[in-house]
Amino acid sequence: MLSVCLSAKAQFHTVARRQPVCRIDTKKGLPPVEKVSNPNKESVSTAGKFPANEYGEWVRRYMSVSYPLKRITVTSPYGLRIDPFSKKRSRHNGIDLRAKGEEAYAMLSGVVVKVGYDRRSGNFVTLRHGGYTVSYCHLSQVLVRRGASVMPGEVIAITGNTGRSTGPHMHLTCKFQNRYINPGILLQFVRETKEEALARLGIFGQRFSCEFSLWLFDYIDIVL
């Protein structure tokens, strides 16, 4: 069973608004990311080298997750809020992200399980990632079909302002075992995975020539 710590607070590199975010204590139900064996500390410190394939493994791990947008700015958080239409207190089953005609990306490897339109969500697409399903709503275009496999960082849609919406944005919902949870859980998972990979790649980069290190980090910037 997924265990989360609701009291934990975290700040994403790309999140412009500070707010409490769920933290993953266990990651059951998530599709596997690239596994990387622990480096041999003695060989690294004494010989100044690391296994040749380990660098590639950490690059693949970095690329095994993706944020749903290039920049994450939460305009309406998960949980109780004042509904912008009814003006009454109600539960918001996802988070609203600032977006205007932007590309939306698959966060993990998975499968497209639903593509459609309804009066509330507008154009939407739902992806399954292991035990999780993630829905992207209020889209102007959906660029994938039901049954298609998707990879992390793959463009799946263009954000818009369709359905029950007060303006251009993307509504993101997440379910675990068919129950709504805070999408911040997956955002936290993406953040932690990328940070761990970047930390390892930074260590490796110090052991190369200046030219190779610059190439390494230029490459990472390209795949962000």
The series of mean pLDDT values per 10 residues for the chain, 224 residues long, is 31 36 46 48 38 80 95 90 71 92 97 97 97 97 98 98 94 94 93 92 56 39 34
Residue ranges per structural domain of the chain: 4-14+22-66+186-223, 74-183
Strand pairing report for 94-98 and 169-176: antiparallel
- The pair of three-digit structure tokens given for residue 24, joined into one six-digit string: 């993953």
Q: What is the pLDDT of residue 196?
A: 93
Identify the sign of the CA torsion 81, 83, 88, 93: negative
Bridge partners of residue 100, in order along the sequence:
none
Q: Among candidates 176, 159, 209, 200, which has minimal Cα distance to 220?
A: 200
Q: Among candidates 125, 128, 136, which has minimal Cα distance to 99?
A: 136
Burial 104-115 (b: 16+ CB within 10 A, else e): bbbbbbbbbeeb
Burial 116-138 (b: 16+ CB within 10 A, else e): eeeeebbbbbbbbbeebbbbbbb
Q: What is the pLDDT of residue 53?
A: 78
Q: Among candidates 110, 107, 145, 116, which has minimal Cα distance to 130?
A: 110
Task: Decide if 111 contacts 147 (C-beta within 8 A).
Answer: yes
Is the pTM of the predicted complex or chain greater than 0.75? no
Q: What is the pLDDT of residue 54?
A: 82
How far apart (Å, rounded) are the C-alpha atoms in residues 38 and 174?
A: 32
Which amino acid does the sequence have at 171?
Answer: H
Burial of 168 (0-12, 13-18, 19+ CB in 10 A): middle
Q: Read off φ and ψ for residue 63, nearest 5 degrees.
A: -85, 0
Burial 54-67 (b: 16+ CB within 10 A, else e): bbebbbebbbbbbb
Q: What is the pLDDT of residue 105?
A: 98
Q: What is the pLDDT of residue 162?
A: 97
Q: Which uninterrupted H or E stretch holds 116?
A: strand 110-118
CATH class of 74-183: mainly beta
